[in-house]
Structures are given as C-alpha cells and as structure tokens.
C-alpha cells in the first residue's frame, strides 16, 4: 500500500511529510529546551508533536565567543541565520553566514559552528530525518554531568 506524501516548502528547506502520520499538534511553542553552558537549542518540531520523525526544527542561540567542537550529525542539518554572524566551517572550509544566509551539512561532513562579532547568533535549524534533538539532549546531559 502506498502512503500519500506531500512536499512541504518553506524559507528554510523542504521535507517529505507523511499524510497518514499519527496525531500531531497543529500549533506549538516547542517541546523542550536543551542547554550546554550559555548555548540554547529550543526544539520546536520533533516526533512528540509532529507525530513522526521525518524532520526536526529548532531555534539555536549561541552566545558571543561560542565555538563547537568538530562534530558530525546523523542527518542533513540546515542552518538559517536570523541574527548575528556565524562562522560555518564544513570539512575545514569556513564560510561566514550573515542573517538571511543558509548553511548546509551532510551526515558525512564534519562541522564547527562559531559565533563571530559581538552579537549572539540566533538560527533556525532543520534536521532531515529527525533524531538529532534526542542525540543532542543525551550529549548535553553528559556534558552537564561532567561539569558538576
């Protein structure tokens, strides 16, 4: 049996969404907030409110001077910068992203995100498929436990 699918377009990306997904929240202020030091990721859309795991959407806020360690993801990651300036380094190649610009990371890529300038970075992040929010929650919990 074929499942009906819609192709959803937005300013920040696209994703396949099952028409027959379980119940979902049609309006939400988000599901949870993940923190690592002064960095914050507000998870807006994930399986718990979408009803399926095809896509996740979050709002990331990185303070001035923030820099991640090099890391990979198990999904495509799309960063849409809303405020601030983000240095987006993929496989050693740096690009400076200003508000309105998009950075893309594939699962096999190594990425480093750095806030440059004197304004925190606020970005909308999309992961396709979903699952990254839970992975980040576990990583942030381990980091918090190690800091204690």
Alpha-carbon gap, residue 56 to 107, rounded angstroms: 15
* Range ranked top by mean pLDDT from 24-28, 88-92, 130-134: 88-92
Q: What is the pLDDT of residues 70-103, one digit of tens each?
A: 999 999 999 999 999 999 999 999 999 999 999 9
> Which band of pLDDT confidence, cut at 50, 70 and 90, is reported for residue 145?
low
How far apart are alpha carbons 106 and 128 in whole angstroms? 10
H or E segment at 145? helix 132-147
Model confidence, pTM: 0.81
Predicted pLDDT of residue 7: 36
Fold of 5-147: Jelly Rolls (2.60.120)
128 contacts: CB under 8 Å, gap ≥ 6: 13, 15, 54, 55, 75, 76, 78
Residues 136, 41: contact at Cβ < 8 Å?
Answer: yes
Is the pLDDT at 6 greater than 50? The verdict is: no
């Amino acid at each position: 049996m074929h499942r009906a699918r819609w192709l959803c377009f937005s300013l920040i990306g696209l994703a396949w969404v099952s028409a027959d997904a379980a119940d979902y929240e049609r309006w939400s202020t988000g599901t949870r907030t993940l923190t690592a030091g002064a960095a914050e990721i507000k998870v807006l859309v994930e399986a718990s409110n979408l009803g399926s795991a095809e896509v996740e959407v979050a709002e990331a806020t990185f303070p001035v001077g923030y820099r991640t360690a090099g890391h990979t993801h198990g999904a495509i990651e799309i960063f849409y910068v809303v405020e601030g300036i983000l240095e987006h380094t993929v496989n050693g190649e740096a690009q400076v992203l200003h508000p309105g610009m998009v950075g893309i990371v594939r699962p096999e890529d190594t990425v480093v995100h750095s806030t440059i300038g004197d304004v925190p970075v606020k970005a909308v992040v999309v992961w396709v498929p979903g699952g990254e929010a839970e992975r980040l929650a576990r990583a942030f919990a381990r980091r918090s436990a190690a800091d204690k």
